[in-house]
């Protein structure tokens, strides 16, 4: 029987894992010393620029603070067979509505897989206001469980 260990994913393996899009947890700094605000989210990933895109609920119906420019950490993970993989990205979360980012964001969104809609709102998603945000990570790491050969 082989021992298992966590090893760093190379960029190609990380991009392949992220390229399917999916869900994860986005943690936003509060800036006031309180613990980060963490929410489940769906994401798209642009492997060309190594950037994440999020469709976030905003406004009173979201029950969350507005995700204006803040430090953020995003974690996604999954299993294939009986082995896990995870990716952690940290950086600044910014709105794609900013004119200086909008053209670049449209190109990046076109390179992502479809961002899945995850309904956690208690009402039809067509009644929830969404905005697009992007995370251009300062730090991006992936780990995978592997068999350690003797």
pLDDT tens per residue, the chain (150 residues)?
Answer: 456 677 889 999 999 999 877 889 999 988 777 888 888 888 889 888 899 988 887 765 444 445 566 889 999 998 877 788 999 999 999 888 765 555 555 555 555 556 656 555 566 667 777 788 889 999 999 999 876 655
Domain with residue 88: its CATH number is: 2.30.110.10
Q: Which residues contact 110 (CB under 8 A, 6 or more apart)?
A: none
Give me the pLDDT at residue 27, please.
94
Q: Which domain holds residue 61?
A: 3-148
Q: What is the C-alpha to C-alpha distance for residues 5 and 30, in angstroms, rounded to an integer? A: 34
Distance CA 138, CA 78 (A): 23
Terminal C-alpha separation, the chain = 10
Domain tally for the chain? 1
Which residues are CB-neighbours of 134 under 8 A, at least 6 positions away?
Answer: 51, 52, 53, 54, 93, 94, 96, 101, 105, 108
Which of the 8 DSSP states describes residue 115? P
What pTM, to 2 d.p., does this model score? 0.76
Instruction: Give the pLDDT of residue 62.
Output: 44
Q: What is the pLDDT of residue 110?
A: 59
Model pLDDT, residue 1: 40
**pLDDT score recorded for residue 63:** 45
């Amino acid at each position: 029987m082989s021992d298992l260990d966590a090893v760093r994913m190379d960029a190609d393996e990380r991009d392949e894992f992220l390229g399917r899009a999916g869900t994860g947890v986005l943690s936003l700094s509060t800036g006031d010393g309180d613990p980060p605000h963490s929410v489940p989210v769906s994401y798209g990933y642009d492997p060309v620029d190594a950037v994440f895109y999020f469709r976030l609920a905003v406004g009173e119906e979201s029950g969350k603070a507005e995700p204006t420019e803040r430090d953020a950490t995003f974690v996604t993970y999954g299993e294939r067979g009986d082995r896990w993989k995870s990716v952690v990205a940290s950086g600044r979360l910014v709105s794609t509505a900013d004119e200086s980012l909008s053209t670049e964001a449209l190109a990046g969104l076109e390179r992502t897989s479809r961002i899945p809609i995850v309904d956690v709102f208690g009402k039809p998603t067509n009644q929830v206001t969404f905005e697009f945000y992007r995370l251009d990570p300062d730090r991006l790491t992936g780990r995978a469980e592997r068999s350690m050969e003797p």
